[in-house]
Amino acid sequence: MKKREFLRTLGLAGLGLAARPWLHSGVPFRAGQPEFGRKHWAWLATDLLSSPDSMQRRFAVMRKAGIDAILPEIYDGHRAYYKSAHLPVEELWLENLLPLARAEGLEVHGWMWSMPCNIEEVRRDHPEWFVVNRKGESAAEKPAYVDYYKFLCPSHRGVHEFLAATVTELCQHRDLAGVHLDYIRYPDVILPEALQPKYGLTQDREYPEFDYCYCDDCRNDFKNQTGIDPMTLENPPANALWRQFRYDRITHLVNDTLIPIARAHGKAITAAVFPDWNLVRQQWPAWKLDAVMPMLYHTLYKKGASWIREETEKGVRSLQGRAPLYSGILIFRLDEKEFTAAVEASLEGGANGVVLFEGGAMSDALWQAFRAVVGR
């Protein structure tokens, strides 16, 4: 099941709720972050059925409503939707979109899945690349929660090379403005309370079957650094060094492997991130991205629009002016009033703009509401 199908079917996503030790309360809040300017985005789920004329009309509507950039899903962990030499290719969707978007004045940033890998050849030839939970189970054989949660481990050189190849290929597209990283994290160690019953779970702590990664490379590298095998810890989740080790593994992948490739090709690089990153080991305030896009899907947390404003403020503070933040808004099941409140809360919280999930599902009424807010 794909990410968008998972969201629509369950009405929830695997996002965690916990304390945020990364907030810097002493940093002054600068509403709007004016030094970066205003910009609005839309994620665009893979659509192989719409005709070029239909896509052109959709882009025209987006641009007229105030969207500046789109993030089409061109690699979904299974197959590529662009010409690739190392991924299975379904169709050259990206190549078809680029001239259509350019004609409407829209930037295009290629949205790629990062750590989930559901390519059978990779699973067969490189089983050691996949994360292993505290019970010793590999995600290649027994993924957590849903079948597509076959996550790769950032401790493996081969994984770095695999993801670097994808970013490098995307950077070859002259008209592509940037690369957008999704699922750049570990699997969720704790799901939101509202989602747990759908899997018959009560996650009142970090259980071994959802706690990653304990593969040989991670254990050996941590032992070389600290003298400790994490499997010998009485309570591994409570160990600050072990927790930070895993944060740093993802940070190293982003900062030292993927970002330099985009920089070398003159491309922007951004990421979809969790507002509460510690339960997916995703310390994104430490990343050197061109922009971050926290997924502030308030309805999944059973929160109101004020939560979006609060989380946006916290995210802006955590970045300390290093990069712009664009608040991700889940549009499903929102009426025009609720949608307007979500966009307003993002901007009031200091976001440089919003990112809509997803542009293809926006109704005429929602586009009209969006234009009314951002056009003020």
pLDDT tens per residue across span 113-170: 999 999 999 999 999 999 999 999 999 999 999 999 999 999 999 999 999 999 999 9
Is the model more confident about 24 or about 131?
A: 131
Task: Report how far residue 64's alpha carbon sits from residue 367's, in angstroms, rounded to the nearest whole number.
Answer: 9
Locate 154 and state its tokens. Answer: 């950032």
301 φ/ψ angles, rounded to the nearest 5 degrees: -100, 0
- Three-state secondary structure string covering 78-101: CCECCCCCCCCECCCHHHHHHHHH
Buried/exposed 276-288: b ≥16 CB within 10 Å, e otherwise? bbbbbbbbbbbbe
E strand spans, 266-352: 268-273, 291-294, 326-330
Given a cut of 50, whether residue 28 has pLDDT beyond it is no
Lowest model confidence (mean pLDDT) among 12-26, 53-67, 189-203: 12-26
Helix (H) or strand (E) holding 42: strand 41-44
263 pLDDT band (50/70/90 cuts)? very high
Bridge partners (DSSP) listed for residue 151: 116
Task: Report how far residue 222's alpha carbon sits from residue 179's, in angstroms, rounded to the nearest whole number.
Answer: 31
Task: Report how far residue 175's alpha carbon sits from residue 154's, in angstroms, rounded to the nearest whole number.
Answer: 30
CATH number of 3-215+246-374: 3.20.20.80
Tally the residues of the chain. 376
- Crossing angle between the packed helical segments 240-252 and 216-226, to the nearest 10 degrees: 120
State the pTM of this model.
Answer: 0.91
Residue 83 half-sphere exposure, CB side, CA atoms within 13 Å? 6
pLDDT score at 231: 97
Helix (H, G, I), strand (E, B) or coil at 369: helix
Q: Are 179 and 155 in contact (CB under 8 A)?
A: no
pLDDT score at 191: 81
pLDDT tens per residue across span 57-105: 999 999 999 999 999 999 999 999 999 999 999 999 999 999 999 999 9
Burial class of residue 49, CB neighbours in 10 A (0-12, 13-18, 19+): exposed
- In the 8-state DSSP scheme, what is residue 238? G
pLDDT tens per residue across span 215-256: 999 999 999 999 999 999 999 999 999 999 999 999 999 999
pLDDT score at 36: 86
Given a cut of 90, whether residue 23 has pLDDT beyond it is no
pLDDT score at 25: 27
* Site of tokens 């990112």: 355
Given a cut of 90, whether residue 300 has pLDDT beyond it is no
Locate 80 and state its tokens. Answer: 């590529």
Q: Are 40 and 66 in contact (CB under 8 A)?
A: yes
Helix (H) or strand (E) holding 107: strand 107-113
| Single-letter residue type at 368 | Q
* Site of tokens 């510690």: 278
pLDDT score at 153: 98
Task: Report how far residue 327's alpha carbon sits from residue 240's, in angstroms, rounded to the nearest whole number.
Answer: 29
pLDDT score at 26: 31
Q: Are 112 and 164 in contact (CB under 8 A)?
A: no
Burial class of residue 137, CB neighbours in 10 A (0-12, 13-18, 19+): middle
Burial class of residue 343, CB neighbours in 10 A (0-12, 13-18, 19+): buried
Task: Report how far residue 139's alpha carbon sits from residue 145's, in angstroms, rounded to the nearest whole number.
Answer: 10
Given a cut of 60, whether residue 189 has pLDDT beyond it is yes
- Crossing angle between the packed helical segments 305-319 and 336-348, to the nearest 10 degrees: 30
Average of pLDDT values for 42-66?
97
| Single-letter residue type at 264 | A
